[in-house]
């Protein structure tokens, strides 16, 4: 009985993301796409995969879009395709999900953590050059919470020092920077199609993007056991393919992604901003003038950890399941001890203690947002 009670209680909460809502809105088209795959039975490398890659290529504005098994594998495959080797250094950030640095370590390279901007939570490009050594081979900025990092400045520094740039765009598919889409702004871009991402499938999925023919060839090989063709393996690779059913779901969702999903996520974020701007205790997220965010999360900063934790506890006790992304930066994780290098990370550490994240997706209702806003205001008057 207790398990049933917990399920009912949790189901009544406002969740960070509820994939069932989008599915119900587009059930007919999504079901038809899935059943087409079930009918033809080509569950690996079916025609929907090629269709997805063509659509993604056109949408992002790159020559090559390659579907892969998830956003983590997209990063691993990209690093391998660029020839990053054990002992090489890759500059990245510690305020992100572990996949960003985990993939660097998995191939034997060394993540070098630099600080972030306090107002966008993305890589602070002014901190890059002091972290470069003769071992540095690449920079991996993260376009976090839906907003693209400062790619022009990052690319300029990379070109100056002969480094690759890999954009970790796991949370920013559909975002725009100076008229260009996330994934098209560096030698290789990646994304994730995890269900809660701006464009999500119903399991794991991801993609790599590039304009370089040779790099695209390597990515395609590495994600298929290193094979250029069947039984001929030029590279050491992985089993990193996207499943046909997931490709079919993404194809269906791409039909309305730009005209519905992104617009509604931005409306959701605008509503928070307009209704929380007068809460003096909050520092609200900033989207720079030359960017359009995909709003994977809506992130708020407060003065200190105690206040943040009290707010999150209060909201959860009142039926709102807020999140904290990310409460412990990567350089604090045991797995990176003696396997990484850190610059000064004052902003990163302060952010980890003071950030919390609101649900921000197209299907959240106005009544739910009103409740979230009302509770956040009431917290300071109780």
Whether the Cβ atoms of residue 240 and residue 223 lie closer than 8 Å to each other: yes
Once rounded to an integer, what is the mean pLDDT over residues 223-243? Answer: 96
Confidence of residue 9 (pLDDT cuts 50, 70, 90): very low
Q: Which of 254, 272, 298 is the last residue of a domain?
A: 254
**pLDDT of 228:** 87
Higher pLDDT: 6 or 334? It is 334
Q: How many helices (H) and strands (E) does the chain have?
A: 13, 15
**Number of domains within the chain:** 2
Q: Looking at the structure, tell me whether residues 152 and 274 fall in a common domain.
A: no
Once rounded to an integer, what is the mean pLDDT over residues 228-241? Answer: 95
**pLDDT of 116:** 98
Residue written as token pair 């003038």: 289
Structure confidence by residue, pLDDT tens digits, 208-221: 999 999 999 999 99
Q: What is the mean pLDDT of the chain?
A: 96
Q: Looking at the structure, tell me whether residues 128 and 273 fall in a common domain.
A: no
Q: Is residue 9 in some structural domain? A: no
Q: Looking at the structure, tell me whether residues 275 and 249 fall in a common domain.
A: no
**pLDDT of 7:** 36
Read off the tokens for 323. Answer: 């999140």
Q: Is residue 44 in some structural domain? A: yes
Q: Under DSSP, is residue 285 helix (H, G, I), strand (E, B) or coil?
A: coil
Q: How far is CA 222 from CA 6, 69, 228, 238, 358, in A?
A: 44, 12, 9, 6, 37
Structure confidence by residue, pLDDT tens digits, 115-172: 999 999 999 999 999 999 999 999 999 999 999 999 999 999 999 999 999 999 999 9
Among 11-25, 91-105, 307-321, the minimum mean pLDDT is found in: 11-25
Q: Looking at the structure, tell me whether residues 93 and 231 fall in a common domain.
A: yes
The distance in angstroms from the start CA to the end CA of the chain is 34
Contacts of 88 (CB under 8 A, 6+ apart): 109, 110, 135, 136, 137, 138
**pLDDT of 32:** 98
Per-residue burial over 121-156, b = 16 or more CB atoms within 10 Å of its CB, e = otherwise: bbbbbebbeebbeeebbbbbbbbbbbbbbbbeebbe
Structure confidence by residue, pLDDT tens digits, 338-350: 999 999 999 999 9
Q: Is residue 3 in some structural domain? A: no
**pLDDT of 8:** 37
Q: Is residue 8 in some structural domain? A: no
Structure confidence by residue, pLDDT tens digits, 156-194: 999 999 999 999 999 999 999 999 999 999 999 999 999
Q: Is residue 6 in some structural domain? A: no
Q: Which domain holds residue 314?
A: 257-379
Q: Is residue 13 in some structural domain? A: no
Q: Is residue 230 in some structural domain? A: yes
Q: Looking at the structure, tell me whether residues 45 and 81 fall in a common domain.
A: yes
Q: Looking at the structure, tell me whether residues 178 and 228 fall in a common domain.
A: yes
| Closest of 56, 53, 57, 108 to residue 79, by C-alpha | 108
Q: Is residue 218 in some structural domain? A: yes
Q: How far apart are CA 178 and CA 201, in angstroms?
A: 28
């Amino acid at each position: 009985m207790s398990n049933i009670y917990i399920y009912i209680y949790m189901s009544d909460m406002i969740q960070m993301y509820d994939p069932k809502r989008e599915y119900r809105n587009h059930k007919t088209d999504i079901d038809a796409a899935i059943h087409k795959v079930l009918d033809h039975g080509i569950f690996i490398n079916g025609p929907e995969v090629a269709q997805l890659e063509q659509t993604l290529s056109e949408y992002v504005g790159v020559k090559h879009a390659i579907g892969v098994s998830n956003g983590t594998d997209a990063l691993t495959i990209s690093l391998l395709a660029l020839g990053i080797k054990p002992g090489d250094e890759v500059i990245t950030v510690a305020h992100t999900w572990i996949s960003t640095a985990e993939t660097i370590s998995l191939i034997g390279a060394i993540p070098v953590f630099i600080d972030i901007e306090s107002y966008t939570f993305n890589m602070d490009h002014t901190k890059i050059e002091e972290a470069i050594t003769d071992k540095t081979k690449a920079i991996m900025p993260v376009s976090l919470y839906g907003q693209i990092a400062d790619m022009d400045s990052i690319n300029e520094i990379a070109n100056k020092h002969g480094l690759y740039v890999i954009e970790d765009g796991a949370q920013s598919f559909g975002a725009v920077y100076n008229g260009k889409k996330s994934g098209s702004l560096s030698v290789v871009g990646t994304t994730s199609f995890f269900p809660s991402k701006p464009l999500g499938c119903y399991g794991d999925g991801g993609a790599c993007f590039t304009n370089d023919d040779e790099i695209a060839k390597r990515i395609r090989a590495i994600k298929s056991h290193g094979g250029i063709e069947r039984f001929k393996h030029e590279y050491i690779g992985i089993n990193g393919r996207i499943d046909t059913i997931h490709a079919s779901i993404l194809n269906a969702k791409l039909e309305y992604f730009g005209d519905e999903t992104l617009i509604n996520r931005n409306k959701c974020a605008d509503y928070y901003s307009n209704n929380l701007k007068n809460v003096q205790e909050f520092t609200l997220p900033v989207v720079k003038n030359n960017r359009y965010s995909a709003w994977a999360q809506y992130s708020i900063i407060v003065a200190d950890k105690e206040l943040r934790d009290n707010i999150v506890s209060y909201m959860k006790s009142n039926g709102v399941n807020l999140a904290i992304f990310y409460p412990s930066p990567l350089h604090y994780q045991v797995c990176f001890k003696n396997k990484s290098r850190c610059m000064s990370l004052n902003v990163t550490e302060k952010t980890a203690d003071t950030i919390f994240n609101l649900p921000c997706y197209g299907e959240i209702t106005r009544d739910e947002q009103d409740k979230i806003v009302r509770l956040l205001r009431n917290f300071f008057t109780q």
